[in-house]
Amino acid sequence: MTRLAWLLAVTCLLALGLGLGADSALADAKGAAPATTGPRPVHGLAPLPGDAPVPLADRPPGAFTGDGGPSPIIFPPQQLTVRFNHKKHVKELSLTCTTCHERAKTSTESRDSLLPKPTRCDACHGSDHRDLGAVKTDDDALISQCGFCHIGYQPGDGNKVARLVVPRPNLKMNHAAHVKRNIACSQCHGAVEKLELATRDQLPRMRGCFACHQMPGPARGEARGDCVNCHLTERGGVMKTRFDTGLLKPPQWLHDSGHGPDWIERHKQVAGNDSRMCSSCHQERFCTDCHDGRVRPRKVHPNDWISMHPTAARQNNPSCTSCHRQQTFCVSCHQRAGVSMSGPYANYSGRGRFHPPPSVWSSPPRSSQHHAWEAQRNMNACVSCHVERDCATCHAKVRRGGRGFGPDAPAGVGDSGFGGQGVNPHPRNFRDRCAGALRGNARPCLVCHDPRDPQLTECR
Amino acid sequence: MGLRRASLCFLTALTLPSPALAYEAEVSATSDAQFYTLRSPWGDPVVRRRRYTQSLALHVTDIQGDYVPFGPQLSFKARLRLDADFGKEGYERDPNLPGTFVPGLEQSPVDVMYAYLEGRNYLGGWVGFRAGRQYVTDALGWWSFDGGLVRLTTPAYFQVEAYAGYEQRGGMPMLLGTERYAGDGVYRGNRDELELNQYPYFLEESKLAPAYGVAVETLGVHWVHGRLSYRKVINRDRVVVSPFPDTGDGFERVGGDRISSERLGYSLRLNEPGLGAVRGSIVYDFYNQVVSERALATDWYTTETITLGADYDYYYPTFDGDSIWNWFTHSGMTTLLGRAEWRPSRRFDVVLSGGAKLFETEGDSGSYGTVEQTGADPDRSETGRLTDALANVAGRYRWSDGSVGLRGMTEAGRRGHRVGGDVTTTQGFGNGLYDTLAIVSLYDWEDGLRPSRSATSFSYVLGGGIRPFDETRFGVEWEHATNRLVGQRYRVLATLDLTVLR
């Protein structure tokens, strides 16, 4: 035991160390600035001078401290090779967002590039980008020089500038629809006018979208909260979750459904509460693979489960019943393997005894390991091997259907050799409930009681 | 000559250009082959599993015509499954061999897992429906029925759902059902080849069990979601009462409408993204007249990377209304867990949880045995309690094309323990063309009631797959387990997933 515990602890620490080490390496890579030569520009290289953190109030609605930016699955990493000072253009030069991003007014799809064309800069910067193969600049104006905006540009580079990469987001987005409803840019992108360079961090957060998108269907127009309203879909209308950038999973705060490492143990409550949300991403097959599956799911059952499952079933049986019907799945296999009181191998000569000896397990007086306690603690464990006959053999009160080991059974009747105890198996408050039981379904009563049994009459 | 002409005409007609159709169709198939062997705890019999499972699915979308955002949508989904085990021997299925016959064993059962037509956003978005074999998932569990469901979506932040039909059961005529969704506690199946006096404890499989339900659910508000559901299932078949062979008095049967299950459930979730969440559910079983399930979970989003929580779960076993076990003394079990989750990055997260599981009995098992009990109704005024301690750890680290995960657990109490864990690694190659899997496990368990069945197990799985086309994968897994009870055990699994038509 102790050695095993040490082994687990060491493995945990190794995994933790691996995770932290890899994360710091990732952070280092992310923080590396592009190499530049020549006079180092001061503005437009970061959201704020000196790469100071952007105040939360100026970030997009829904952002929070330490959120790491928007989802890299939805908004793939960008490569910004142009420095730009939004604050100067908007605050000092009194330009509006759509002066440069004019296509935002008409764009209906996320694949539309809303970055201004280089020619948009020419009017003020004195450059001429009409022919990108031979861009002209005004040699007398600093703001006209290629290196003024293009990071890393060297005078001898001619028309070669570093490539700007802004991948299309993995999302549906109709800017025109939002503009039409007078939704200001800042309602989704934050206070870009207060910043210099606008980075990925100014892209919308799903939490912010819900400020409007949480209305039920028929009454609220198109600002619905359905996942597929904004997320890309696959055939059949379910959300697309696999992208080149990774696997999309819900954040923790979204319906408290963060798919953490122990999600398999915790999903019941969330799925039982709102299964339609699950079906936004998952088809039926995803659920049936476990809940009605025919191949042992590794996420649920570890290796060598078949050897360990008897102990697990007695300790943790409610989990079994969420996928297995005991009187079909369990009993059938147990009968084949001879682990059953009724079945072909019940009296097999080579068969040993599954439970403790009768003196402990079934004979009076009750020991602390008597089967009654085990049945009371975890009835499902009994039901996964036994059939009704096994219990009725001793607990039936009357001879019915040609047998009976109850107090009124004739001596010698029976096919198993057990003597009848006639012990009342009912719980202590049974008399309060027996009338409802009899009225709702009399079959279980009649398995053990004669219809004229005075006790049944009392219940009626 | 005439036949050739007719064939030519037919082929020509097939190849004539036809107008473009709006709908999209997908046919997918999965095949799984498993080979392993199980041995009785006493060495004999040996059960060979030679399993082959095949499923075939059809999914047709946009049957209504061109897709219009928020407009009516009509789709059809179906999945058919063959679950064969060629290791099931003939002598196990022959009722004339009572020494080896296992009631209800079918070698190659076929079932329709689901098959339904679904409509959404009809009548201005107010009405949706489903017709056919379908699933319902809510606080009352994961369940399947054949019938119709209508959903009314209102602008007042709630929707109403009503459904009626027949519970999916194994004996449904012509409908290829399974017993998976029928209430538990009754051993039943196909008795076609059995005499009345053979295996009377094995009841005739039930056929049509009417079921209906209604649910009211909140909608559209993200910080709260509640669902109130009611469902009733009725047993209607005539079934034998006694599980014992007839010795001349004849078999008595019960018939008529009687409760299979009748339950009311409610679940609620409240969450505030900056604070945390509370989730709770409760289920009342009308037939058993008890609260059969209740749960409460709280999560406190302590920091952006840490979540602390506590879970309470109570489960009281209930069975189909035909089962005697509903009325045998038994208790619910309560699980209490504290939980801490740490997500320092998108790639790495780890969860620790620990707590206790409480079992109850009527009467104290520790002291009760000192009193001679020989048939008298025992004094059960005291409540005995037994507690198991639980602890779990789960963590994972992911990179672009692979991951490593750790899972560890222990559950220990007076009746024994389980402790162990496994490490799982996956790695893809060739831009997703190939994938590999390795799992190493070490578990130790002690069975307090059967010390001879205690063991330590070491096992590993090696697997790999190839995806030659999108949504097509062929994979193989090899599992090797070793413990003192079974010596060496091997298992081979081969899978093939295909999407053959779009």
Confidence band for B14, pLDDT divided at 50, 70 and 90: very low
Asked whether the beta carbons of residue A216 and residue B156 sit closer than 8 angstroms, the reply is yes
DSSP string, B374-401: SSSPP---SEEEEEEEEEEEEEEEEETT
Q: Which residue of chain B comes nearest to A335, CA vs CA?
A: B102
CA distance to partner chain A, nearest, from residue B467 (Å): 15
Q: What's the rounded mean pLDDT across residues B239-245?
A: 85
- List the helix and strand counts (H, then E) for chain A: 21, 2
Q: Look up the ipTM and state it.
A: 0.90
* B253 phi and psi angles, rounded to 5 deg: -130, 155
Looking at CA atoms only, how far is residue A425 from chain B in angstroms? 5
pLDDT of B294 strictly over 70 = yes
Asked if the model's pLDDT at residue B29 lies above 80, the reply is: yes
pLDDT band of residue A316 (cuts 50, 70, 90) is: confident
A383–B245 CB contact, under 8 Å: no
Tens-digit pLDDT profile for residues B36-88 = 998 888 888 889 999 999 999 999 999 988 888 778 999 999 999 999 999 99
CA distance to partner chain A, nearest, from residue B234 (Å)? 10
pLDDT digits (tens, 9 = 90+) for B99-142: 889 998 888 999 999 999 999 999 988 999 999 999 999 999 99
Whether residue B243 and residue A389 make contact (CB cut-off 8 A), yes or no, is: yes
Residue A113 structure tokens = 């590039």
Query: Rounded mean pLDDT of A91-107?
Result: 93
> For A330-360, how does the pLDDT look when each residue is reduced to its tens digit (9 = 90+)?
999 999 988 888 888 877 777 788 898 888 8
Closest CA to B59 of B34, B95, B23, B12: B23
Mutation for testing the A interface, residue in B68, B122, B142, B431 having most A CBs under 10 Å: B142
Contact B187 A26 (CB under 8 A): no
Structure tokens at A138: 């005004």
- The pTM of this model reads 0.87
Mean pLDDT of all residues in B355-379: 67
Mean pLDDT of A197-208: 94
Mean residue pLDDT of chain A comes to 82
The residue-averaged pLDDT of A350-373 equals 83
Q: How far is A162 from chain B (nearest CA, A)?
A: 26
Q: Do B479 and A303 touch (CB under 8 A)?
A: yes
* The pLDDT of residue A65: 83
Is 80 exceeded by the pLDDT of residue B396? yes
HSE-up (13 A, CA, CB side) for residue A50: 2
> How many angstroms separate the CA atoms of B332 and A158, rounded?
79
Residue of A nearest to B487 (CA): A307
- Answer yes or no: are the C-beta atoms of B82 and B110 closer than 8 Å: yes
CB nearest to A15's CB, from B220, B406, B411: B406
Number of Cβ atoms within 10 Å of the Cβ of A121: 18
Note whether A365 contacts B407, CB cutoff 8 Å.
no
Residue in A318, A400, A404 closest to B252 by CB: A400
Q: How far apart are CA A339 and CA A346, in angstroms?
A: 8
Q: How far apart are CA A380 and CA A374, in angstroms?
A: 10
Q: How far is B324 from chain A (nearest CA, A)?
A: 4
For the four alpha carbons of B191, B197, B202 and B207, in that order, the dihedral sign comes to positive
Q: What's the pLDDT band for A105 if we cut at 50, 70, 90?
A: very high
d(CA A1, CA A7): 10
Q: What is the DSSP string of A111-146?
A: TS--SPPTHHHHHHH--B-SSTTS-B--TT-GGGSH
